[in-house]
Each structure stands twice: as structure tokens, then as C-alpha cells.
Structure 1
Amino acid sequence: MQHRIFVLLNLHFVAGILLSPPSNVAISSFNMEHTVKFLPGPGTPTETHFTVQIINYRKNSWRLVSGCSELTAGQMCNVTRAFKDQYNQYKARVQAFTATQTSNWTVSRWFQPLSDTVLGPPDVSVSGCGNCLILHLKVPATRGLPHHLQLKSLYRGVAFQVQRTRDGAQFSLNVPFNEENVIMYLQPGVEYCVIVTVTTLLNSNSVSSKPYCAFTSRPSPTSSLYVVFSLLTVSCMTAFLIIGLVLYGGQLSLKFRSRRC
């Protein structure tokens, strides 16, 4: 009886039941670039490899992802091109295997590319224009994204959070997405900081940019000299007026003394 149990346990070991399945299988996505991530199960041998398969909601059959059939621990599987229908839902599953063992599959949650991806901010540059700011927005570069699906086509608009550096006064502005945007009616010669966030119709997972700061305008050298000369002129006129009053007062004092004598 004991010998029979030992044989059964050995068969289970050879069949791969004792190999720990992967853990934390999940599909992550940033700017429509999708990746399957996972961790090896506890006690996984160093020579273990991993394979990734995907399934979509409309076709109930698993299929292997190209280039993800012999991953090692720490590697990720890029499934950007495998998710051809951006409106569909997908799952991924990962299996560990060695030369003599295989593990059970570990399955991820459902993932919808358009609504579940995280959209980062565009590239931003800011410059002043008198009483306004000019913002240039550039769509970030992506790798592996199908040609028919560009990030710019997903952007519905852009939100600006504008803050005056001097006193913290701020306001928000929502406009359609354009590569060049002008924020008007600002105070000239003052620094403003702008935080940019893209908005879309089907996705609310947008990451805001860092603050981009610039002065609306700076005083020109000509106007600065004019201010200096004006101040000097006022000072000189004040000095001459004081001297004149002193001299006039002195003359009055002399006349008063001469009359008394």
C-alpha cells in the first residue's frame, strides 16, 4: 500500500502537478502598449520557463502569443499587437514548465484596451506672449502600436490647470486637443505654471503632467531705462524744489531781520 502511494506521488511529480503555478498574472497598459506581467510561484526552479496565452470575449479559444512561449522569470510579454480589436475584452494566462514538469495555468482578469489603458500626458513646452501663454503639445512616441491606432485619435480634449506663482491664484480651462494652444487674459510680466491632462471619451485613467512654468512677458530694456530716468527726474525735481524752498526761506528771514534793525 505504501509502495502504491509512493508510485502515485512520483507520477504526480513527473506530470508536473507539484510545480508551482505563476502568481500575480495581470495585464498592464500605458499609452495603449499592453504587457502581461507575472511572478514565479514559490519554490519555482531556476531553469523554469513560462508560456503566455490569450483569449478574447468573442472567441472562446486560447491561443499562444508570438514571442512569449519560453519566457524566463522577470520577463514580460508584450501583447500590444495581439489585442487587435481595441473594443474587445481579453484575458491572459501563464503556465510554468520545465523539461519534466508543467504547472497549472494562472489566469488574469478581463482587460479592455481602450478603457483600461493609462494615458500619460503629452510632451509640453510653454512660452510667454505678453498677457498670454503659448503651449505646444506633442503626442508622445509609442512603440509597437498598430499604425491604424494612434494616441492622437483617442484624445478628445485637454485640461489646463493654471496657477499664478506669486500668490497661488488658479483656474481651470478645458479645450479641444490642439498642438498649439493660447491661454489669454493673464497678467503681463508674471510667472504662471500649467499642469496638462488629456481627456478621452472612453477612458478616465489619465496621468497629469508635471507643472510647466513661464513668465507671460518680461520688461524690455527700453522700458526699464525709461522707468529709471523717470525716477531720477522726479528725484531731481524734488531736490531742486527743496533747495528752492530753503533759499527762499533764507531770503525771507534776512528781509525780516533787516526790517527789525
Structure 2
Amino acid sequence: MMEMWMLLLLQLRLGNAPWTEVLGVSLSAPSNVSISSFNMEHILSFLPGPGTPPNAHFTVQIVHQRRSSWRPVVGCLELKAGQICNLTTAFKDPYSQYRARIQAFMPTQTSNWTVSEWFQPLSDTVLGPLDVSVSGCGNCLILQLRVPATSGAQQILQLKTLYRGVVLRVQRTRDGAQFTLNLPYTEETMITYLQPGVEYCVTVSVTTLFRSSSVSSPPHCAFTSPPPSTGSLYVILGLLGASCVLGLLLTGLVVHSGRLNSSRTLRQHKDWLQTPHSLTPPLRSSSEGGGDHCE
């Protein structure tokens, strides 16, 4: 008896019970079944069919393009309304195409299967923005590019394989002048021939060999040469002011010393001119020397 009930439940789960259509008690098939993908994380979403009871469950199966048999997805065998099915690990080959289907079921009822469109992980995923950091290097900018930290280990490996190039949109903050660079993808990239001491903002998006769409990163801004801080600027201005004052004092001291020396020289010369000078040598007295004298 137990085996018969198990067989009946299995037929209900597979949608093969013959009386469900005869009695008209089958559940409505799920609707709006779609697969979306962001950074190689693949999510199946759906809506319950009209009139589906709140206590109904849903089961998901997938098929590979080169295989004809459907297989169940672990973790998506008894979904509730409003839940999603993560197909990231189920789609093992990113170069192949897959389809998913979903069915509503209850202990005594099932619905028809609703099948999704064909999905290829590499071409149908949307590539999110990279993690970007920018630093100045004189007349250039250095960009560090990383796979988003929220990605899992499998996704990181697939994304690194998928990335082929980056599109850099560079804008000068001062006047809005901008240009675009297309470069190969590397984790470190340098933008050269920029003006020193000027702020630039960089927006990054990735390119692939497939038709995957890409979301650009927000602008990341940095100065090519770091501008001095406010405190350093005050120190520099103070030193310049002190240097100017010292230079003026030294100049004034030199000028004053020169004037003093000139005044002293002129005064000495004037005193010498005003002092009487005899042009004939003085007469010696008779007592000097051993000369002859008369009695």
C-alpha cells in the first residue's frame, strides 16, 4: 500500500497523473519564468500561476543543449512563492546553453511545466563595475582594478577569464576636458601624459569577446600630484613671508651700513681739509744738533 502511494506521489510530482486533467484539479502553471545574471551569478525567478494556493511548492529542472534529459536542481526542489532559484553552480559550462523549467505541486495536484528561454552564461550575463582605486604619480595616474569582492571563488575565476579589455573615460575636473582610452585588462593600469597637480576623474567599464553588457564604475577622482594640505600651505606661506621680511631687513641693513660708511668718510675728508697744514718744514732750534754757534 505504501509503495502504491509513493508511486502516485511521484507521478504527481512529474505531472504524469492521468486524472488531474480529467477531474480539472491541476494547478495553474507558473508564469514570468526568466533567468537573469549579474557577474556570472545566475538567478531564476517566477510568479505563481493564477489561483495557486499559498501552500503550493515549486520544483526546478534544467537541461543542457546537448542532452535531452531534464535533471533536478539541488536546492530548488521545494521552493515557495516569492523565492528564487540560484543556478550558478548548476550551469557548469559557461560556454554552453541551458534551459530551465518550473512546476507547481501539492500533495494531490501538479501544474504543467513552464520553460524558460535558452540561456548562455557568458553572453547573457551583465558585468558589474570593477573595484577601482586611483592614485597620483606626478604627471600620471595609477589604477588598481579588481574583481568585485562580493563574487564567489567560481565567479571570480570565470570573470577573470571573461575580461578582455577596459574602457577608461578620463575627465579633468577643472574644465571638464575628457578623453577615452581602450586598454587590455590588467589589475594595474597607468594613465600617462597628464598635467601635474591637477585632479582627474576616471570611469571604468570592461569589455569581453562576447556580447555581454557592462555597467560602468562610478567616477574615481585623484590628483596627479597630491596638493599640499591646508596646514602645509599655511606653513609655506609663513616661511615665504618670513623670508621676505628677512630679505628686506638685510637689504635695509646693508643700505644703512653703506650710508654710515659714506658719512664717516666724508666727515674725515672734511676735517682734514679744514685743518691748516704748513708747506715748509719747521726750523730747528740752535740747541739741537751739533752745529756751530757764536759766543
In the superposition, the TM-score normalised over structure 2's length comes to: 0.69
Matched residue, 1:33: 41
2:152 corresponds to which residue? 143
Q: Distance in 1 between matches of 2:20 and 2:186?
A: 66
Whether the 8 Å CA contact 2:125–2:212 is kept in 1: the answer is no
1:116 pairs with 2:127: no
Query: SS in structure 2 opposite 1:135?
Result: strand
Equivalent residue for 2:215, pick from 207, 217, 229: 207
Corresponding position: 1:44 with 2:55 = no
Higher relative contact order (CA 8 A, sep 6+): 1
Say if 1:208 and 1:231 are closer, same or farther in 2 by CA, change over 3 A: farther
The total of aligned residue pairs comes to 226
In the TM superposition, residue 232 of structure 1 has moved relative to its aligned partner by: 8.3
1:69 paired residue number: 77
Separation (CA, whole Å) in 2 of partners of 1:9 and 1:50? 17
Matches within 5 A, 1:67-216: 67-141=75-149, 142-143=151-152, 145=154, 149-216=157-224
1:80–1:144 contact (8 Å) kept in structure 2: no
Post-superposition Cα deviations, 1:16-49, rounded to whole Å, max 9, x if no partner, equal 1xx2111110111111111111111122211010
Whole-Å separation in 2 of the counterparts to 1:231 and 1:209: 47
The 10-residue stretch of structure 1 (46-55 or 126-135) with the greater mean CA deviation from structure 2: 126-135
Change (3 A) 1:10 1:210: closer
1:229 corresponds in structure 2 to 240
Q: Secondary structure of 1:150's match?
A: helix
Residue 160 of structure 2 aligns to a residue whose secondary structure is helix
| Cα 1:231–1:39 shift into 2, 3 Å | farther
Q: For the structure 1 residues 226 and 128, does the alpha-carbon distance in structure 2 shift closer, same or farther, using more than 3 Å as the test?
A: same
Separation in structure 2 between the aligned mates of residue 153 and residue 205 of structure 1, nearest angstrom: 16
User: Which residue does the alignment assign to 1:57?
Assistant: 65
Q: C-alpha displacement at 1:86, in angstroms? A: 1.5
Corresponding residue SS for 1:145: helix
User: 2-side partners of 1:10 and 1:143: how far apart?
Assistant: 44
Q: Is the 8 A contact 2:20 2:109 kept in 1?
A: no
Which 4+ runs in 1 deviate beyond 2 A? 8-14, 143-147, 218-234
Say if 1:60 and 1:144 are closer, same or farther in 2 by CA, change over 3 A.
farther
Q: Which residue of 1 aligns with 2:31?
A: 23
| RMSD (Å), alpha carbons | 2.8
Compare CA radii of gyration and give the structure with the larger one.
2
Identity of aligned residues (%): 65
Q: CA deviation at 1:152?
A: 1.1
Instruction: Please state how far the C-alpha of 1:158 moved relative to its aligned partner.
Output: 1.1
Deviations 1:84-127 (A, max 9, x none): 22111111111111122111111111101111111112111111
Report the Cα offset of residue 67 of structure 1: 1.4
> What are the ranges of 5 or more consecutive residues in structure 2 without an aligned counterpart?
1-18, 252-295
Name the aligned partner's letter for residue 197 of structure 2. G
Q: Does the CA contact (< 8 Å) of 1:127 and 1:214 recur in 2?
A: yes
Change (3 A) 1:231 1:210: farther
User: Are the equivalent residues in 2 in contact too, given 1:132–1:184 (CA < 8 A)?
Assistant: yes
Q: What displacement does 1:218 show? A: 3.3
